[in-house]
Amino acid sequence: MKTLPALLAFTLLAPSAVNSQTKPASSADPKIAAALRQISAERVRADIEKLVSFQTRSTLSAQDDASVAAGRGIGAAREWIKSEFERYSRDCGACLEVKNDTYTQEPANRIATATHITNIYAVLRGSDPESAKRIVLVTGHYDSRNSDNFNVTDAAPGANDDASGTAVSLECARVLSKMKFPATVLFLTVAGEEQGLYGSAHFARMAKSEGWNIEAALNNDIVGGDRNSQQDPSVVRVFSEGVPIAASDAELRRIRNLGGESDSASRQLARYITETARTYGSAVTPLLVFRLDRYLRGGDHISFNEQGFAAVRFTEYREDYHHQHQNVRTENGFEYGDLPKFVNFEYVAAVARLNAATLASLASAPAPPSNVHLLTKELENTSSLSWEGSGAASYEVLWRSTTSPEWEHAEPVGSETRATLPISKDNVIFAVRSSDSSGHKSLAVVPTPEP
């Protein structure tokens, strides 16, 4: 029997295949799984207690040499984080480049006098020169505050907000630096968050102006799993923007016309985290929240979104406002203050494992396909997609109902860069992703109409 010569390069998928309800899935990489087992709640506890020991990490607190030597203030915290990254680097044969991103913030909202703000980061450069241009990063803010933004001497332990996120970045660096990835992994800790995302905004602007290709930014802020009675330690919230902050007017028109409100690159990253959690049997289940951040609140991922990068925020299921941003005190029987004793170190370690699994999976995967288009020259009830390859071993077409939060089907199409499916583009949302020969999957890319 003749095959389908008229379709040439197209892979026409049989309706039977399409009706097979193939769920998108990835297989666990044993090397990544082994690395995740090294992430330690004890290390997390030691990191958080050390950060708390600096008394305050207010961005406005002391940074002079004497205070650093005395182990007091944000300067001492900064030097300790740097020394930790350098220690991990010594343990991996100088595999990390440890860097400062420092600038002077002139007086501004919640900053009374010119203040040095320093972000510290470690770069695990990709092993493949081309893939190394792709960057995935994890971040937390190491600054803290108490009840008064301008109080720079009293205790501001910030054990949950955000020594927990800083510990996630440190643990990811410690464990993943023992591995090699084709793409680059960057471990970041920022300051100036509590005054208005100053540090992350500076870093993200630098990345944008230098043309960095940040594929994913994972922000961990308040991932301590506060031990309150209504906490659910089996859940971590993952916030992602819907309509991108950085969308142009033309992109906004297309989003409105095509129903793209739930398909930002950040939301594909959130979906990827959910699939990664299943693949590696995460002890914390992501609760995807389709919202930029908590109601009327913000965090460092927004600085990356503003520069057009995919970025999400991890936060514990239920925050306790007796603990965050509070002077340490007891009042009417309530203990106030962001102290280590309220942090669940096992929970932080579980969140760190999910971050590390996501970073390692993305850094192992080939680049996502580019120029992904739905072919629209003819009106037809089938749907044809085309894309440009990224040197990947194979590709998958994903789709879901327009009302579904997550991808519902995945169809492998081999190394072809075109596919036709007997499904109407009117009724579903499509995407394409890349895979290497070991099954590491890229982020999904939603098509635009062919130009």
Does residue 29 belong to the site contacting Zn ion (CB under 5 A)?
Answer: no
Nearest CA to 199 out of 77, 97, 91 is that of: 77
Smallest gap from residue 321 Cβ to Zn ion (A) = 13
Q: Which is nearer to Zn ion, 301 or 409 (CB)?
A: 301
In the region spanning residues 366 to 395, those forming contacts with Zn ion, defined by CB under 5 A, are: none
Per rule CB under 5 A, count of chain residues that contact Zn ion: 3
Interface pattern 292-321 for Zn ion (x via CB under 5 A): ------------------------------
For Zn ion, the binding residue among 215, 221, 316, 411 (CB under 5 A) is: 221
Smallest gap from Cβ 317 to Zn ion, in A, equals 16
Among the listed ranges 6-14, 99-107, 214-222, 281-289, the one in contact with Zn ion (CB under 5 A) is 214-222
Closest contact distance (angstroms) between CB of 61 and Zn ion is 16
Distance in angstroms (rounded) separating the CA atoms of residues 377 and 280: 42
Min dist CB 315 to Zn ion, Å, is 9
For 190-222, the DSSP string reads: E--HHHHSHHHHHHHHHHHHTT-EEEEEEEE-S
The β-bridge partners of 383 are: 421
CA separation, residue 59 to residues 190, 191, 303 (Å): 10, 6, 18
Min dist. Cβ of residue 193 to Zn ion (A): 6
* Residue 60 vs 443, nearer CB to Zn ion: 60
Q: In 3-state terms, what secondary structure has residue 251?
A: helix
Instruction: Find tokens 């996120």 and name the residue.
Output: 165
Q: Closer to Zn ion at the Cβ: 72 or 301?
A: 301
CB of 294 to Zn ion, least distance (A): 11
Stretch that binds Zn ion, among 106-114, 128-136, 217-225, 282-290 (CB under 5 A): 217-225
Whether the Cβ atoms of residue 248 and residue 220 lie closer than 8 Å to each other: no
DSSP 153-182: SS-B--IIIIIIHHHHHHHHHHHHTTS--S
The dihedrals phi and psi of 156, each to the nearest 5 degrees, come to -135, 75
DSSP 8-state secondary structure symbol assigned to residue 148 = S
What's the min distance (Å) between Cβ of 64 and Zn ion?
25
Position among 47, 84, 143, 161 found at the interface with Zn ion (CB under 5 A): 161
Spell out, one character per residue from 165 to 204, where the chain touches Zn ion: x when CB under 5 A holds, - when not.
----------------------------------------
Interacting span for Zn ion (CB under 5 A) from 72-80, 153-161, 362-370, 395-403: 153-161
CA proximity to 31, closest of 174, 176, 167: 176
Residue reference for tokens 């109407």: 424
Nearer to Zn ion, 185 or 222 (CB): 222
**Options 114-122, 155-163, 269-277, 289-297: segment touching Zn ion (CB under 5 A):** 155-163
Rounded CA-CA distance 136/186 in Å is 6
Its sign, for the CA torsion 310, 316, 322, 326, is negative
Least Å distance, CB 221 to Zn ion, is 4
Question: What's the CA gap between 203 and 205, in Å, rounded?
Answer: 5
Residue 113 burial (10 A CB sphere; 0-12, 13-18, 19+): exposed
Contact status, residue 233 vs residue 345, Cβ threshold 8 Å = no
For residue 27, give the DSSP letter: P
Whether the Cβ atoms of residue 139 and residue 190 lie closer than 8 Å to each other? yes
CB of 342 to Zn ion, least distance (A): 15
Least Å from the CB of residue 356 to Zn ion: 21
Alpha-carbon distance 292 to 294, whole Å?
Answer: 7
Tally: H helices and E strands in the chain: 12, 17
Among residues 55 and 219, whose Cβ is nearest to Zn ion? Answer: 219
Per DSSP, 300 falls in state: T
CB of 293 or CB of 396, closer to Zn ion: 293
Is 162 a residue that touches Zn ion (CB under 5 A)?
yes
Quote the CA–CA distance of 142 and 188 in Å, as a whole number. Answer: 10
Choose the stretch contacting Zn ion; rule: CB under 5 A; options: 74-82, 219-227, 245-253, 358-366.
219-227
Which residue number, 55 or 200, has a Cβ lying nearer to Zn ion? 200
Least Cβ distance, residue 225 to Zn ion (angstroms): 15
For Zn ion, which stretch binds (CB under 5 A), given 89-97, 220-228, 266-274, 400-408?
Answer: 220-228
Helices 265-279 and 345-364, packing angle to 10 deg = 110
* Residue nearer to Zn ion on the CB measure, 50 or 325: 325
When the beta carbons of 243 and 289 are compared against Zn ion, the nearer one is 289
Residue 221 or residue 316: which is nearer to Zn ion going by CB?
221
Note the residues at the interface with Zn ion (CB under 5 A).
161-162, 221
